[in-house]
Structure 1
Amino acid sequence: MESINEIFDLECFFHLSPDWLCVAGFDGYFKKINPAVSKTLGYTESELFAKPIDSFVFVDDRSITAAKRESIIKNNPLYDFENRYVTKSGEIVWLSWTSMPVQNQQLVFAIARNITDKKKLEEFSRTSVIFNNREERKSASLQNSDAINGGNGSAFFANLKPISELSIADQLWLYELETLVRKYIGKVDLSIVLLSSEMGLSERQLHRRIKNTTGITPNNYIRRIRLHMSMEAINSGKYRTVAEISYVAGFETPAYFRKLFKEFYGRDVAELLQ
Structure 2
Amino acid sequence: MTDPGRLVLAATPIGDVEDAPPRLARLLAAADVVAAEDTRRLRRLCSALGVEPAGRVVSYHEHNEASRSAGLVEEVRAGRTVLLVTDAGMPSVSDPGYRLVRAVVDAGLPVTAVPGPSAVLTALAVSGLATDRFCFEGFLPRRPGERRRALAALADEPRTMVLFEAPHRLAAMLAAVAEAFGPQRPAAVCRELTKTYEEVRRGPVAELAAWAEQSPVRGEVTVVVAGADPAPARPQDLLPEVLALLADGVRLKDAVTAVADRHGLPKRVLYDAALAARPQEPPPGGQPPGDH
Decide which structure has the larger Cα Rg and report it. 2
More relative contact order in 1 or in 2 (CA 8 Å, sep 6+)?
A: 2
Q: State the TM-score, normalized to the length of structure 1.
A: 0.24
Q: TM-score, normalised by structure 2?
A: 0.23
Q: Which is richer in helix? A: 1
